[in-house]
Amino acid sequence: MKGYRLKPGARIDGERLLASVQSQQYEDEDFCDRINSFSFLSCSVVEALDCLACDMASVACAAIELGVSQRNLQRLLLRETGRPPSYWMLLARVRQTARSVLEPIPQPLSLAEIALMHGYADQPHMSREFKRWLNISPSKLRRGCEPFVQLNERGYG
């Protein structure tokens, strides 16, 4: 069994995809191409998620930036992704923060500085969010205890 990660809000025409692979042998790369050819994303969802990932102060600010009401933004994302805008905003923030923790700059910033830079109240707040979302502490991530290749892959946030 093998899993494939899709972008948030992606829809797949499952019947057509299954019909295209049932009678043929395929390689993993070919199957990824097949999935892509039978999937689609709503431009509205892509735009909303990109906006939420751009260091917005709140969901209300993102709604204003997108030119929609906060309620319409919430309805759109709940319908298309099954998650509210706040979920996507928090996920993007923790992913961006994790990349900062891993950044190999000449003089690494302290975890407290990184927490402040990404809008956390303090380092313990950032650590709790890391544990909640990534199931690892920032210090363990920095020490390289776990490979987090996904943080650098294209995806949300």
Is residue 2 a part of any domain in this protein?
no
Is residue 25 scored above 70 in pLDDT? no
Q: How confident is the model at residue 89 (pLDDT cuts 50, 70, 90)?
A: very high
pTM of the model: 0.79
Residues 145 and 92 in one domain: yes
> What is the predicted pLDDT for the residue at 108?
78
Residues 94 and 74 in one domain: no
Q: Return the residue matching tokens 């000449």.
A: 106
Residues 91 and 144 in one domain: yes
Residue 25 structural domain: 11-40
Residues 113 and 148 in one domain: yes
Residues 113 and 75 in one domain: no
> What is the predicted pLDDT for the residue at 118?
92
The mean-pLDDT minimum among 60-69, 96-105, 108-117, 146-155 falls in: 146-155
User: Cβ atoms within 10 A of the Cβ of 149, count?
Assistant: 6
Cα(60)–Cα(109) distance, integer angstroms: 31
Which of 59, 84, 109 lies at the terminal end of a domain, its last residue?
Answer: 84
**What is the helix (H) or strand (E) element at residue 93, kind and residue range?**
helix 85-102
Is residue 95 scored above 70 in pLDDT? yes
User: Using CA of residue 79, residue 154, residue 50, residue 123, what is the dihedral sign?
Assistant: positive
Residues 75 and 123 in one domain: no
> What is the predicted pLDDT for the residue at 26?
62
Task: Report the number of distinct structural domains present in the chain.
Answer: 3
**58-80: average pLDDT:** 94
Residues 94 and 147 in one domain: yes
Contact yes or no for 49/88 (Cβ under 8 A): yes
Residues 93 and 125 in one domain: yes
Residues 80 and 95 in one domain: no
Residues contacting residue 146 through CB under 8 Å, at least 6 positions apart:
136, 140
Contact yes or no for 156/8 (Cβ under 8 A): yes
**152-157: average pLDDT:** 56
**What is the helix (H) or strand (E) element at residue 98, kind and residue range?**
helix 85-102
Is residue 106 scored above 80 in pLDDT? no
Residues 120 and 139 in one domain: yes
Residues 128 and 105 in one domain: yes
